[in-house]
Structure 1
Amino acid sequence: MTEQEIRQILEKQHRLFQEGATLPVSFRLSQLQKLKDGIRRYEEKLDQALEADLGKSRMESYMCEIGLTLSELTWMQKHLRSLVREKRVATPLAQLAARSFRSPSPYGTVLIMSPWNYPVLLTLGPLIDAIAAGNTVVIKPSAYAEHTSAVLKEMLKECFPSEYVAVVTGGRAENKALLEQRFDKIFFTGGKTVGREVLRHAAEYLTPVTLELGGKSPCIVDKSAKIPLAAKRIVFGKYLNCGQTCVAPDYILCDRTVYAELILALQKEITTQFGEDPLKNPDYGKIINRKHYDRIMGLIDPDKVVCGGCGDGQSLRIAPTIMKNVTFSDTVMGEEIFGPVLPILTYDTLEEAIDIVEEHPHPLALYLFSEDKGAQKKVLELCHFGGGCINDTIIHLATSAMPFGGVGESGMGGYHGKTGFETFSHFRSIVDKKTWMDLPIRYQRYSRMKERLLRVFLR
């Protein structure tokens, strides 16, 4: 799509928004229902596209993409009328008589740029929140997930006119053309490098931005952890989607006294969940493309491999891999892995583990496996991260009742449920001042009596 065509879409969306067409709650609810109906009609096509792009099985596609999207949609339909209401707040005594309230207002025309690793969930999830808030939307899905992007474009074109929701496919040229336009809000999910570019372009127009990025998310396993259960849940979270999950455990920090036990338990769980040869498991995913396959394979040190370490360049599959005796000087610790490679490091005291986490950029997620309530409290108090779990992995993002987002280099802002609605809304503070009385204190001419009354009100 050319820059001129993109500008024409934006002009039409601006006009539609200025007409107030997107504001009625009944309209928003009807559009959410259209989207839900569209997802159900296109479920089979989305399954096929996700398998083509990422090797996802039907079960995984529903569990991690389509099902979670429908869950967010249902939550929003149920709660939207409450979310759009004015919220009354207390009025200071000095401002009597008045009614004070917060009123949500949509930003206008928003840009949603989504990634390739969960192309359905991370495109439609923000779209749901943006529609619920009353915006018009331009969506730019990733060019890497080409099959899914094509199906999403077909589905959304069928559901909505382009002056309301438009999909722009393509690569860097389209990204550049979009970022040079004036949007009222930008929502970006992806890597830090592109995130910085988004922020730089947004600064040109002082456009508010939400960034959902990533980072090296640690998983701390202390000596009180239930090791077999910890291994089961770590293996699930790490190797889901072939490790291409922004909140996957990037590395393990393990208490030295249970290090050997954990490695054995992880190996056993890989075999239990994926079979003796995971590369032949039809339900195990694949790497998105050859570039990322080669990058991930280059992070593996054969001398430190406990299991896995091999790949199939033709099918773009890499076996679930564990590496031991890893330090931060190893190549695998120099960047976010975003693949099925799990390095394990050790620590001697919990304080040491906390220091390691805090010495590095704040991660998007942190996981702690521990039965020690004191240790749980200490980690939550002293470690800074976007979100996470105690005694599990990744499931914290699967609820609309809690916001999801990063902190520091792992992102800014959040979404899901109420927070998602608020992310795409501006909250206006309004004082409705009554006219049947008017306190004279603030007006000149000032007097000692007025000052004494002022000090009573403002203290």
Structure 2
Amino acid sequence: MKRRLSPHWKKICIRFETVLSEITTVRNEAIYAIKNLEKWMKPEPVQKSMTSLLDSCYIQKEPVGVVLIIAGWSLPVQLSLIPMVGAVAAGNCVMIKPSETCSHTAHLLNMLLPNYMDNSCFQVLSAGHGDLLEILENKFDHIFFIGDRLTGRQVMQAAAKHITPVSVILGGKNPCYVDKLCDLTLTAHRIAWARFMNAGQNSLAPEYVLCHPDLRDPLIRELELCVHEFYGKNPQESEHYGRIASVEHYKGVKDFLSCGKVAFGGQTDDHERFIAPTVLIDVKETDAIMQQEILGPVLPILTVQTLEEAIQFVNRKDRPLAVYVYSNSQKVIAEVLQKTSSGSFCSNDNMIQCLYTRLPCGGIGNGVGIYGGKFSFDTFSHSRACLLRNTAVECVTYLRYPPYAEKQLHLMQWASSLSRTNSWCNIL
């Protein structure tokens, strides 16, 4: 008789992964902003020319106004509050729209935020996806979106009506190249943790692995050992393994299991929205799982003969949110770094780059903008050009007035040009 897992699994699994990926990251973001906000807000001096020698020239950061944050569902607290920290730090009012999949998160934020923040500077919207387009009919000063490409396109189209600046952070197909010169046991542990944590529901998780044919089967054996170590022989009964967030998404991830051949895993349970940690082989580049973001505990492993072939494979696709490489060779790591392009890059680990508050998060060529730490503050700030003129320099600036003469033009060019050498205009 099959043993049904008691609700106790949720307490262990959800607490550990939530504290690590949701609470700790948001707390660090807030602390980092508090410690550095005074420095971020200071006027930034700029280089001067002869015409501005006696003037005060600087860039002043000011809030853009009202910011709409449309958060993703995979890590709903983090994806709502990390951009909010930057927006509030920059002095804006914020409206947060959690995903319709995360109604409990919206309720929790509505309940907790008033205890810590001025109610006049934020609002949490509890609305379904159908209401999002209605919300977007309103004029905002900046719209920040994290989620899928289809909704991102709708957000950008709606923003275009009001010529509203947008940040659109999209997922993608994050490649992971495993070199022959690597610690295979360590590699398998880190890949398995990243792909199967939160049941694979993380946009920074590796989406597929590229490796040499001789390495494929040993890597699969190591990954299977990791799954047994992490979750036991039956992950469905594990206290440390999660479930898919919604029925709709569960069905989508389950459909991916028909791609290629299951190396291990593949078990599902519709009632629990359970999908076992799964590795697929013999997947084709044209299969659906290689065209869409997985956001689930399924990992395709494809083989390539050379590093150059792996790089070509990666570069045939849209530039991903992250590129990963496992190798003990600095030459291999450097080559992947130099010959690929992505939102972020990490060698010999996965997803850890998002824990560093000084590193930005965002894509390239697939979405718009970056956030995190000071990058969030800058995203939600207007850089105001400020020039406080001194009237004493009229002896030079009068040359701009008509009637014009060639001599005046030459003198004005000299006075307003920046020097390429270390001269007086670089000292100020």
**Aligned twin of 1:286:** 243
Does residue 449 of structure 1 match 2:407?
Answer: yes
Report the equivalent of 2:49. 92
Q: Which amino acid aligns with 1:74?
A: I
Give the Cα–Cα distance (whole angstroms) in 2 for the partners of residues 145 and 65 of structure 1.
Answer: 14
Alignment pair present for 1:209 and 2:166: yes
1:233-270 deviation digits (Å, cap 9, x = unpaired): 10111111100101110110112232222111111111
CA contact (8 A) 1:137 1:166 kept: yes
Secondary structure of 1:430's aligned partner = strand
Answer yes or no: is 1:138 the counterpart of 2:95.
yes
Q: Which of the residues 98, 112, 122 maps onto 1:165? A: 122
Q: 1:101 aligns with which of 52, 58, 61?
A: 58
Q: Deviations over 1:97-135 (max 9, x none)?
A: 212111101000110111111011111111111110000
Q: CA deviation at 1:326?
A: 1.6
Q: Is 1:334 paired with 2:296? A: no
Name the residue aligned to 2:104.
147
CA positional deviation for 1:64 = 0.5
* 1:273 counterpart SS class: helix
Q: Aligned-pair distance for 1:51?
A: 5.2
Secondary structure of 1:414's match?
coil
Query: Which structure 1 residue ranges, 4+ long, deviate > 4 Å from structure 2?
Result: none
Q: CA deviation at 1:311?
A: 1.3
CA–CA separation in structure 2 for the residues paired with 1:223 and 1:196:
40
Q: CA deviation at 1:216?
A: 0.9
SS of the aligned residue for 1:441 comes to helix
| 2:21 counterpart residue number | 64
Conserved? CA contact 2:319–2:341, under 8 Å:
yes
CA distance in 1, matches of 2:414, 2:289: 63
Q: What is aligned with 2:361? A: 404
Q: 1:94 offset after TM fit, Å?
A: 3.4
Going from structure 1 to structure 2, the CA distance change for 1:303 and 1:187 (only over 3 Å counts) comes to closer
1:360-371 to structure 2, matched below 5 A, reads: 360-371=317-328
In structure 1, the partner of 2:425 is none
**In structure 2, what is the equivalent of residue 237 of structure 1?**
194
Shift of 1:305: 0.7
Q: Which residue does the alignment assign to 1:375? A: 332
CA contact (8 A) 2:195 2:206 kept: yes
Query: What RMSD in Å do the two structures reach over aligned CA positions?
Result: 1.9
Change in Cα spacing, 1:437 to 1:330, as seen in structure 2 (3 Å) is closer
CA deviations 1:368-390 (Å, max 9, x no partner) are: 11122222222111211111311
The residue type paired with residue 146 of structure 1 is S
Report the equivalent of 1:129. Answer: 86
8 Å contact 1:168–1:174 — kept in the other structure? no
The amino acid across from 1:228 in the alignment is T
**Percent of counterpart pairs with the same letter?**
35
Q: Deviation digits for residues 404-457 of structure 1, max 9, x if unmatched?
A: 111112x21111111010011010111221112221332223334323323434
| Residue 416 of structure 2 corresponds to residue 429 of structure 1 | no
Q: Deviations over 1:303-348 (max 9, x none)?
A: 6111110012222111100011222133322311110000000111
1:37-57 deviation digits (Å, cap 9, x = unpaired): xxxxxxxxxxx9x959xx952
Q: Is the 8 A contact 2:106 2:125 kept in 1?
A: no
Instruction: Read off the aligned partner of 1:329 and give its amino acid letter.
Output: T
Question: What is the CA–CA distance in structure 1 between the aligned matches of 2:260 and 2:308, rounded to whole Å?
Answer: 29
Q: 1:174 aligns with which of 119, 124, 131?
A: 131
Structure 2: which 5+ residue stretches go unaligned?
1-6, 419-428
Q: Is the 8 A contact 1:57 1:282 kept in 2?
A: no
Q: Cα distance 1:97–1:442, how it changes in 2: closer, same or farther (>3 A)? A: farther
Q: Tell me the distance in 2 between the aligned counterparts of 1:80 and 1:216.
A: 35
1:348 aligns with 2:313: no
Q: Which residue of 1 aligns with 2:376?
A: 420
Q: Could you state the TM-score of these two structures normalised by the residue count of structure 1?
A: 0.85
Q: Indicate conservation of the 8 Å contact 1:388/1:394, yes or no.
A: no
* SS of 2:239 mapped into structure 1: coil
Partner Cα distance (1:441, 1:275) in 2: 82
Q: Number of residue pairs matched?
A: 408
Aligned to 1:82: 39
Conserved? CA contact 1:179–1:202, under 8 Å: yes
SS at match of 1:193: helix
Q: Which has the higher mean CA deviation after the structures are superposed, 262-271 or 132-141?
A: 262-271
What is the CA–CA distance in structure 2 between the aligned matches of 1:279 and 1:271, rounded to whole Å?
A: 12
| 1:153-202 per-position Cα deviation (integer Å, ceiling 9, x unaligned) | 11124434543111110202431221000000001111000000000000
Q: 270-279 or 160-169, which moves further after superposition? A: 160-169
| Paired residues of 2:99 and 2:129 also in contact (CA < 8 A) | no
1:218-237 equivalences under 5 Å are 218-237=175-194
CA contact (8 A) 1:326 1:345 kept: yes
Q: What residue is the counterpart of 2:213 in the other structure?
A: 256
1: CA distance between counterparts of 2:68 and 2:258? 40
Shift in CA distance, 76/269, structure 1 to aligned 2, threshold 3 Å: same
CA distance in 2, matches of 1:79, 1:426: 18
Q: 1:406 touches 1:412 (CA, 8 Å); kept in 2?
A: yes
Residue by residue over 1:338-364, the C-alpha shift from the partner in whole angstroms, topping out at 9 and shown as x without a partner, is 100000001111111111111111111
Match of 2:346 in 1: 389
